[in-house]
Structure 1
Amino acid sequence: MVTLGCRLNLAESETIRGLIAGAERQTVVVNSCAVTAEAVRQSRRAVRRLRAAHPEARLLVTGCAATIAPGDFTAMPEVDGVVANPAKLDPVAWQARPVVAPASPKQRTRAFVPVQTGCDHACTFCIIPAGRGVSVSLPVAEVLRVVEGHLAAGAREVVLTGVDVTGWGADLPGTPRLGDLVAALLAAFPALHRLRLSSLDGVEIDGLLFELITGEARVMPHVHLSLQAGHDMILKRMKRRHTRAQAVALAQRLRAARPQIAIGADLIAGFPTEDAAMHAAGVAIVEDCWIVHGHVFPYSPRPGTPAARMPQVPPPLVRERAAEVRAAVARTRAAWLESLIGTPREVLAERDGTGHSPEFAPYRLPEGTAPGQIVTLTPIRIREGLLE
């Protein structure tokens, strides 16, 4: 199994892994991503690598890239079939017995729980709605059932994921908000140690959710915002629903209410029509919001999206600008990590000898620390990007 892209894909891959274990013949899967042209190329490379490693297996491709352009993958000689996103969790699609897959060892430390898929918005750069469809929310009772299973398997941290997580509930009776779901989880599971949220759209953070993020110890102080740009004209051309000032104000409100909060953000560099001043605003917003976890994407046109028809920034300049935004994030991140030296933090131990604090700061663990433990560490230095 090879998984590319978002945490929603990661969560779905755990279910698929259990399903193909019950398949009638050995099956290997690439769970593809279409968020950028590079993600599609990586998906195709993963297909070729997986076929070389498993020449006799049935090789299937699923995920957004395979859903948006299935013919591109069925035309590959390495591929035996494509499973579109709407069918990817159906045992029949994998010729598997309809059994409930047990939690895998990877789920015992941190469990990714998809609570929503699809998106009702129309950002001009984004192809994902074509692969995921409209927003569909998992009802509260079903989310509670899934989380209960993960906790029974030993998970210490639960991460709520989706394509537009803050859009959760809009399609459910009574139109609950994400804050309502978080409150229900915390009330239902007093033993849930850590609850983390994946990428949030700032304009959809409801009042209750803000209160829980800033005032509830079990909700991790790590907010990843879907900012995308730092200049109002670019935000308008992207059809984002916030302004630069609103994004900065939200980051400041979060940190004022809970100073420990670490801000992350998705940022696109080199969007069509971006000039030097617009790019400079995109670099500056890193420091203005004090972004210490940055997912920086060099813009790449996705066929069929409005942005692909706009005047394009030359690709070499796009890459140069992406490097400058990444460098800005690296500076704030280095200063942030430095500020954590000498301060004790509870760190969740993972399986590779590292772990993460509530703010998602990375730590190197003392030798012999068992995965799944929550240990208190006071770092004395930073080495190779890890506190230790």
Structure 2
Amino acid sequence: MNAPTDLKSPLKPEVISLGCRLNIAESERMTAMLADAGDVVVVNSCAVTSEAVRQTRQAIRKARRARPDARLIVTGCAADIEREQLADMPEVDGLIANASKLDPRVWNVPLPEAPPPPTRTRAFIAVQNGCDHACTFCVIPQGRGKSRSQTIPQVLREVEHHLDLGAKEVVLTGVDVTSWGHDLPNTPPLGALVAAVLDTFPDLQRLRMSSLDGIEIDDGLFDLFASEQRLMPHLHLSLQHGHDLILKRMKRRHSRADAVELVSRLKARRPEIAIGADLIAGFPTEAGEHHAANLSIIEELDIVHGHIFPYSPRPGTPAARMPQVDRALVKSRAAELRGAVAAQREAWLQRLVGETLPVLAERDGTGYAPNYARIRLPEGTSAGRITTITTQSLEEGLLT
């Protein structure tokens, strides 16, 4: 007897990741952990801004439309911080606390024997989670808890696993990466971890760092950024603002001068290093002169990878109780900051035309140079391969 033709293959679990690189790393682990969990969709949410929460709700609705019969579970930061609001959504079948999402017992599945294979061409490794700081605008400690570090042997085992799977680039990520080691015996600095990875794996071609708090970059890490070619020349700073008064009201621990000095020292040692930064527009009490300082630091630091966040009040944070800037003005200032970063980036990319660069190919026909410049690759270039490209032109923001 012929088998019925209308039987469908069992639907595989799907993990939808929003937000930071740490969420990406955790989503890859959940994907492996839930491989045999059946028809389930997990939204690994973000709550860093009100826009991130809006996108989380949008992703939930979209996932329900695409998989109407699936069990839809929400985890991540928004599952803690916006728990009641998300639980009230008719699309949601359940929520799992952010701190528990990598615990197989919560999902009633067996523990994976090894870290999962990467779903991207780069391996994202979470070396740290949580945050001990109290920035007045930030809600993330509510969703991530206190800082916890992976030990050096734990990180090395995971790096080795990804290299065995063929990874060409490893990205070390976390919530507050430069606080790595503060909770470990003898409080090793982050530079010690980076040195251990590079020393242990001489065949590792590219090591990249995710966002760093510049004031906590130790001397060892600074020297590696300045001289180690396998540590990518791409420094993304958790800068947040360019005016000292606003930085103080944010309860940040650095000044504008600290950031300028750090970048100046690094560029003196390694001129090709590309600077990225997070900047917030329209923080409470921000006046015109403060915004002007935010704009000017983009050119002073030559910020070419900018993440611009219009300020939005987050529940339970001190900044939400401060005098707020008009929403229309917040949006217009964010647009000005984005325009300034776009101009810096355009000029930087133009300077790279004619350069010969090693490019790690992604799956979409583009790839990234060591300085994180995005480059369109020849058709047929295999994803995950490092290929040498001499750039010819700049078209629509992409070197070709």
TM-score after normalising by structure 1:
0.98
Deviation at 1:251, TM superposition (A): 1.2
Aligned amino acid, residue 170 of structure 2: V
Q: Show the counterpart of 2:66.
A: 53
Structural RMSD (CA):
1.0
Q: Distance in 1 between matches of 2:73 and 2:315?
A: 24
**How has the CA–CA distance of structure 1 residues 211 and 102 changed in structure 2, closer, same or farther, with 3 Å as cutoff?**
closer
Q: Distance in 2 between matches of 1:233 and 1:316?
A: 22
- 2:364 equivalent to 1:352: yes
Question: 345-354 vs 87-96, which deviates more?
Answer: 87-96
Listed as ranges, the matches of 1:80-95 within 5 Å are 80-95=93-108
Q: Deviations over 1:175-208 (max 9, x none)?
A: 0010000000001111110000000001100000
Q: Distance in 2 between matches of 1:71 and 1:300?
A: 19
Deviation at 1:101, TM superposition (A): 6.1
Q: Show the counterpart of 1:137.
A: 149
- 2:397 equivalent to 1:385: yes
Of residues 24, 34, 47, the one that matches 1:10 is: 24
Deviation at 1:373, TM superposition (A): 1.2
Q: Deviations over 1:229-264 (max 9, x none)?
A: 000000000000011111111111111110010000
**How has the CA–CA distance of structure 1 residues 206 and 102 changed in structure 2, closer, same or farther, with 3 Å as cutoff?**
closer
Q: Deviations over 1:133-166 (max 9, x none)?
A: 0000000000001111111111100000000000
Q: Show the counterpart of 2:8.
A: none
Q: Show the counterpart of 2:80.
A: 67
Deviation at 1:89, TM superposition (A): 0.5
Secondary structure (helix, strand or coil) at the match of 1:2 reads strand
Q: Distance in 2 between matches of 1:319 and 1:257?
A: 37
Q: Show the counterpart of 1:123.
A: 135
Q: Which runs of 5+ in 2 are unaligned?
A: 1-14
- 2:276 equivalent to 1:264: yes
Aligned amino acid, residue 235 of structure 2: V
Q: Distance in 1 between matches of 2:183 and 2:29?
A: 24
- 2:260 equivalent to 1:248: yes
Listed as ranges, the matches of 1:357-376 within 5 Å are 357-376=369-388
Is residue 118–residue 134 contact of structure 1 (8 Å, CA) maintained in 2? Answer: yes
Deviation at 1:297, TM superposition (A): 0.2
Q: Show the counterpart of 1:21.
A: 35
**How has the CA–CA distance of structure 1 residues 312 and 251 changed in structure 2, closer, same or farther, with 3 Å as cutoff?**
same
Q: Distance in 2 between matches of 1:100 and 1:126?
A: 35
Deviation at 1:71, TM superposition (A): 1.8
Listed as ranges, the matches of 1:178-197 within 5 Å are 178-197=190-209
Aligned amino acid, residue 18 of structure 1: A
Of residues 176, 179, 182, the one that matches 1:164 is: 176
Is residue 15–residue 101 contact of structure 1 (8 Å, CA) maintained in 2? Answer: no
- 2:107 equivalent to 1:106: no
Deviation at 1:69, TM superposition (A): 2.6
Identity score, percent:
63
Of residues 335, 346, 349, the one that matches 1:337 is: 349
Deviation at 1:105, TM superposition (A): 5.4
Q: Show the counterpart of 2:4.
A: none
Q: Which runs of 5+ in 1 are unaligned?
A: none
Q: Show the counterpart of 1:229.
A: 241
Secondary structure (helix, strand or coil) at the match of 2:343 reads helix
Q: Distance in 2 between matches of 1:30 and 1:247?
A: 36
Q: Distance in 2 between matches of 1:268 and 1:312?
A: 13
Of residues 214, 218, 222, the one that matches 1:202 is: 214
Q: How many residues align?
A: 386
Deviation at 1:21, TM superposition (A): 1.2
Deviation at 1:100, TM superposition (A): 3.4
Q: Distance in 1 between matches of 2:112 and 2:356?
A: 44
Q: Distance in 1 between matches of 2:32 and 2:114?
A: 5
TM-score after normalising by structure 2:
0.95
**How has the CA–CA distance of structure 1 residues 102 and 173 changed in structure 2, closer, same or farther, with 3 Å as cutoff?**
closer
Secondary structure (helix, strand or coil) at the match of 2:34 reads helix
Aligned amino acid, residue 222 of structure 2: F
Aligned amino acid, residue 56 of structure 1: D
Q: Show the counterpart of 1:78.
A: 91
Q: Show the counterpart of 2:228.
A: 216
Of residues 300, 307, 312, the one that matches 2:319 is: 307
Is residue 117–residue 162 contact of structure 2 (8 Å, CA) maintained in 1? Answer: no
Is residue 31–residue 62 contact of structure 1 (8 Å, CA) maintained in 2? Answer: yes
Deviation at 1:318, TM superposition (A): 0.1
Q: Distance in 2 between matches of 1:60 and 1:93?
A: 12
- 2:106 equivalent to 1:97: no
Deviation at 1:210, TM superposition (A): 0.2
Deviation at 1:102, TM superposition (A): 6.2
